[in-house]
Structure 1
């Protein structure tokens, strides 16, 4: 039997296959947060940088302009054509990925930290919850790998961003770019639900509350945000 100490490299696999093991390890190693963050930022940025070099850019620009109203197109066409270059789009993607991965996970960690404090849990700092959020969301790497396969298997280079990252609720709704439900549908992925479930599992193991209560706490912000968003879309008709 190997006596090799458990570390972050093993956790990258186990967060998918044996998440409880990783969660227990994170309880003692909350500072091990940067590896999944860097991999998610790097792999997402690399995938889209390649995509923007590969895609038919004239087609992508025309497709983007086609969902604008005539007034919007008149105001924004020149700026859109200037910004929509492989380098420009790659830079925007890199910056937005950093924002989502770092800021959103930090907000998620702050929320979990607050809830744990209110429940009376001891010995858990913000970094514990930030780390749990980052590691749980690492399951999204599967979606990135699926995007790579989509590029490899594409018949031509006229492929939209939503088709590159196609494992989302829009597979069921079939909304087109420009439809009011399109952004909502493409923002919901099975990896998001998987990650939140892992966060709920971690909350239960660390605070010793029931699994049901932990899942309610973990899913509450997601349900409120996307439920409220859906309600607004429905009211707008």
Structure 2
């Protein structure tokens, strides 16, 4: 198989020729910094533009109404004063980067453990952690689509669900006051793409059979969503 000659080309080929990308990065070092930086930067853009575009008073009131519960009027006022546009913007921007760093670390631990049965697999945690940023590349495409939605929006009372245009929350019109909002916002169409890339990468990095690679790729997503849904159903 022809290998990729440079990391820029590898990022492009992740979308069209992922097999040769993962075959290449199995033999290279320090390429994963580029998808990490690209994914981290591009994923913050829709959030930055969103909080600079929306009617923040409307947003603040909506968040308070959906999450305040039985707080007293005085507590509501304190909550309202504490929610400042600049603060929320940067907390959200930093939060999306750190959540990606942490979730990818967890995924790397899982992949490192799940591939132990393959005696020929020599990759360790740091290798798998770099791997997770390559399988996160669909985030770049979705973030650009999201940014376009925000930039083209004519109403500055734009639902936060618009930040996940491929999520079930956005597709089904589920609002923030629904108990199912967080779960449906987490279930996104690009997750199928990510699962596919994980399976492709596993097929290049291990000698595991195809059915096993797809099982490993899909299991964490299905398990987390299933447990989350079960908790909502019984609560």
Same fold (TM over 0.5): yes
* Separation (CA, whole Å) in 2 of partners of 1:43 and 1:158: 23
1:176 aligns with 2:175: yes
How many Å separate the matches in 2 of 1:26 and 1:73? Answer: 56
Q: 1:177 and 1:73, CA in 2 relative to 1: closer, same or farther beyond 3 A?
A: farther
Query: For residues 108 and 133 of structure 1, what CA distance do their matches in structure 2 show?
Result: 7
Does the 8 Å CA contact 1:8/1:32 hold for their aligned counterparts?
Answer: yes
1:16 alignment partner, SS class: coil
Alignment-derived partner of residue 29 in structure 1: 28
1:212 aligns with 2:217: no
1:165 has 2:164 as partner: yes
Whether 2:117 is the aligned partner of 1:96: answer: no
Counterparts of 2:72 and 2:29, CA distance in 1: 48
Displacement of 1:171 in angstroms is 4.1
Aligned 8 A contact 1:26 1:128 in 2 = no
Give the 3-state SS of the residue equivalent to 2:77 in structure 1. helix
SS at match of 1:231: helix
What is the CA distance between 1:69 and its match in structure 2?
4.9
Deviates more, 1:104-113 or 1:66-75: 66-75
CA RMSD of aligned residues (A): 1.9
* Distance in 1 between residues matched to 2:71 and 2:202, nearest whole Å: 46
Q: Give the match for residue 52 of structure 1.
A: 51
Please state how far the C-alpha of 1:108 moved relative to its aligned partner. 0.7
Structure that is richer in helix per residue: 1
- Work out the CA distance in 2 between the residues paired with 1:94 and 1:29: 31
- Retained in 2: the 8 A contact 1:146–1:165? no
**Is 1:191 paired with 2:190?**
yes
Task: Please list every run of 5 or more consecutive structure 1 residues that lacks an aligned counterpart in the other structure.
Answer: none
Query: Shift in Å at residue 235 of structure 1?
Result: 1.6
In 2, the alpha carbon distance for the partners of 1:120 and 1:157 equals 55
Within 1, Cα distance between the matches of 2:74 and 2:42? 34
Residues 22-71 of structure 1 deviation map (CA, whole Å, 9 limit, x = unaligned): 11111112432111111122122233122211111111111112213551
Query: Residues of 1 paired with 2:82 and 2:46: CA distance?
Result: 19
Name 2:125's counterpart in structure 1.
Answer: 126
Note closer, same or farther for the CA distance 1:64–1:114 as it changes in structure 2 (3 Å cut): same
Change (3 A) 1:31 1:75: farther
Tell me the TM-score normalized by structure 2. Answer: 0.90
- Whether contact under 8 Å (1:65, 1:73) holds in the other structure is no
Structure 2 unpaired stretches of 5+: none
CA contact (8 A) 1:26 1:131 kept: no
Specify whether residues 174 and 160 from structure 1 end up closer, same or farther in structure 2 by C-alpha distance, changes over 3 A only. closer
Q: 1:221 to 1:30 in 2, by over 3 A?
A: farther
The corresponding residue for 1:107 is: 106
Deviation at 1:115, TM superposition (A): 1.6
Q: Say how many residue pairs are matched.
A: 232
SS in 1 for 2:115: helix
Contact 1:109–1:129 (8 Å) recurs in 2: yes
| Aligned equivalent of 1:71 | 70
